[in-house]
Amino acid sequence: MSGHIPINNLQNKGMYKDTINIALAGNPNVGKSVIFNQLTGLSQTIGNWPGKTVERMEGHLDFLGYRFNIVDLPGIYSLSTYSLEEIVSREYIVSDDVDVIINVVDASNLERNLFFTFQLLELEVPLIIAINQMDILRKRNMEIDFKELENIFKLPVLPVVAVHGTGVHQLLKKAIEMVVFQHPQPIYNGKTRDEYDHHSHNYNRKESIQDKVKENNAVKNNFKFPDLSKVLSFGKEVESLISKLIMEINDNQLSSALIKYPPRFLAIKLLENDDEIKKIFKNDEIIKSADEFRNQLEDFHGEGVHTIISSEIYNKIHVITDEALVIKPHKGKKKVRFGDILDHLTTHSILGYFILVAVLFGIYFFTFSLGNFFAGLLDDAFIVLSDLIYVNLSAENVLVKIFWDGGVGGLFGAVGGVLVYVIPFFLIIEILQDSGYLPRAAFLMDRVMHLLGVHGKTIIPMILGFGCNVPACAGCRIMETEREKKISVALTSLVPCAATMTVVLGLVGRYLGFYWILILFLINFVVIYLVGRILNKTLPGQCTELIMEMHEYRIPNYPVIFKQTWNRTKEFIFKAMPIIVILGIALEILLIFNALEPINIILSPITVFWLGLPTITGVFLIYGILRKELTLVLLSILANSLNLSLLELVTPIQMITFSLVSMLYIPCFATIIIIAKQTNWKYAIQISLLEIGLALFIGGIINFGFIIFTSF
């Protein structure tokens, strides 16, 4: 579409702004991502916020002659700073990089969602409120009086059904109307601020601070924030202390970092003891006043300040919903819906766990059945192509070894060994998320997973780890906070994958029996528990409670699901796969120059003395970093070349030690790369060293324990 739409409410003359920057903000699971995908399609980029490990989703579109840059902010419940997601969201909302905030609200959870809306109102930013999932609300025989909400908030409030695209483009039209002409500098009594500050050192400081705030928050788009003093004002005791703090803030010089925030927002955050705000406040007297006022409030109410402020906000919200939410009478007998029955079954204290096991098995079966099928096709294709290359160019050709075996072989390994599992995993996770089951599974496992320092969501990628650690660790991105993501990837990387189970079954299972397999798995799970406890104690922060909106079950929106699956997959394609190919080439070069043989000698104090293994296993364990099953394959090849059976080559205790070390030491390179992408390289290396240390420690204990036991 082309041509500008007429904007009738522009009152100032100046240069028109053709590019409009929009941020989508709201709680998790309110439909922000659906709106984002509806608007931007495939024109999306995924990266991290500058200097942060929090994911940044950005997309672009052209609409009615305007260029829109849209950022999908992380789903958060408040503008406090308990997590990186909350910090980056708050900083971006008040920055000069955004023109309009679209606050997406779930109509079926109106009171809960409006809490975040109230905090956005305190920031005095250009705001559009999008009430999503109106179809679900109407199924409940309820309606919202949008005119009443607009009268209350004095801001645009629009109905949206994002999954069907209803009302989505109306949000853009409203954003265009709100974006007016910009001024390089606001005017103070006929002069620019710089001129006014230079010629008058005795200007009214309160007026200057307020003007600076308006310049940074609203005047940038000539958006005049409405007077919501009646809507936002709290009870007498709280409001009087906020007013006193505002006066102190206005009477003091603010840093550039603080000017972005309105005085009222700063006052409330100081009362709430917000660490990020306190860090950038230069005046200790204001902080002391805030501490004193906070103590007064808590002594008066007998509760913490966060509870007091939250109660004040929810009291306001309750009044608003009473006025704006219309409940229609039911006609006839109320029908029992299938979604309600399904909800009851999947959250049942007994049946829910049986259903969870079935669903997890279904995820495992779907992911690895589909993945194994395509992996087999790719393996066969690589063998056929390799035969052609070897016949025409010779298998001993150095360039063939480096670029075909190493480079192309690494590419086929990345696609056939990882990508074919990553895509179906993300697809099924998106379906479970969009349908509404994932929050219920997390709810069931929440109490158990809290023992490991994370909440219930972690159980999904951990179960998938039994198939492959790579898509499982990639799936840890569903965790909300950086701390929980770090713990989740560490625990998931310790889950024995299918390749590791091949080693265990091929050695211990085949020669020693089923009970020894159970003992190895028991040791593995104890290690997972201990690592979870260690990380829970050492990583800064606390285990957060599981807060998830359990929206009603619904039919998944497959176009959106396919887009989300592609967005999650392309990061691996463009970032992880090139590294895997480079590592394949590097390893092949080491093999050509026989650089791995000396490693056996170097590692012999560990492999031979400490673990009690044959000398050659040092190289085998290194090969296992590429694929764990290579360790068993190489042992079998060595045994065949010596005309021995595996039981003759390695003793039973060596089988147990070798298998246990293979289970516990670092997973494959691809998993390490994914851990680094989910967190950072420093943490990936730390986890690798921790797991190597645990594997060697436990393996040595078993070896020497056996020696001591048999010596008696």
Report the percentage of the chain scoring pLDDT > 90: 15
In a domain, 574, yes or no: yes
In a domain, 10, yes or no: no
Residue 441 has pLDDT above 50, yes or no: yes
In a domain, 2, yes or no: no
Residue-number span of the structural domain to which 422 is assigned: 336-712
**Rounded Cα gap, residues 345 and 353, in angstroms:** 10
The domain boundary residue, chosen from 326, 347, 373: 326
> With contact defined as beta carbons under 8 Å apart, do 26 and 110 qualify?
no
Model confidence band, residue 596 (pLDDT cutoffs 50, 70, 90) = low
Task: Please tell me the predicted confidence (pLDDT) of residue 50.
Answer: 63
Better pLDDT: 129 or 439: 129
* One domain for residues 148 and 221: no
Q: How far is CA 475 from CA 134, 245, 345, 465, 472, in A?
A: 30, 45, 26, 10, 5
Residue 411 has pLDDT above 60, yes or no: yes
In a domain, 371, yes or no: yes
Residue 649 has pLDDT above 90, yes or no: no
* One domain for residues 57 and 162: yes
Q: Where residue 298 sits, what CATH number does that domain have?
A: 1.10.287.1770
Model confidence band, residue 11 (pLDDT cutoffs 50, 70, 90) = very low
* One domain for residues 303 and 355: no
Model confidence band, residue 640 (pLDDT cutoffs 50, 70, 90) = low
* One domain for residues 517 and 370: yes
In this predicted model, what pLDDT tens digit does every residue of 214-254 receive, in sequence order?
Answer: 444 444 445 677 878 788 889 888 999 999 998 888 877 66
Contact partners, residue 534, CB within 8 Å, separation at least 6: none
In a domain, 11, yes or no: no
In this predicted model, what pLDDT tens digit does every residue of 288-323 receive, in sequence order?
Answer: 898 999 999 888 888 888 889 989 999 999 999 999
In a domain, 684, yes or no: yes
In a domain, 709, yes or no: yes
Q: Mean pLDDT across the stretch 650-662?
A: 89
In this predicted model, what pLDDT tens digit does every residue of 330-372 receive, in sequence order?
Answer: 665 666 677 778 888 888 888 888 988 888 778 767 877 787 7
* One domain for residues 425 and 397: yes
* One domain for residues 45 and 148: yes
Q: Mean pLDDT across the stretch 143-164?
A: 91
Task: Please tell me the predicted confidence (pLDDT) of residue 614.
Answer: 84
Q: Where residue 88 sits, what CATH number does that domain have?
A: 3.40.50.300
Number of domains in the chain: 3
Better pLDDT: 30 or 552: 30
* One domain for residues 322 and 351: no
In a domain, 648, yes or no: yes
Residue 698 has pLDDT above 90, yes or no: yes
Region of 162 on the Ramachandran plot (φ > 0 left; ψ -120 to 50 alpha; else beta): alpha
Residue with tokens 């400081």: 205
What is the DSSP-derived secondary structure letter of residue 105?
Answer: E
Which of the listed ranges 501-515, 527-541, 692-706 does the model predict with the highest average pLDDT?
692-706
**Rounded Cα gap, residues 710 and 712, in angstroms:** 5
The domain boundary residue, chosen from 276, 295, 326: 326
* One domain for residues 212 and 131: no
Residue 68 Cα to chain centre, angstroms: 25
**Where is average pLDDT lowest: 502-506, 540-544, 577-581?**
540-544
Residue 688 has pLDDT above 80, yes or no: yes
In this predicted model, what pLDDT tens digit does every residue of 42-92 receive, in sequence order?
Answer: 666 766 666 555 677 888 988 888 899 999 998 888 887 666 778 888 889
Q: How far is CA 365 from CA 368, 372, 373, 404, in A?
A: 6, 10, 12, 32
Q: How far is CA 69 from CA 75, 125, 230, 565, 593, in A?
A: 19, 17, 34, 22, 52
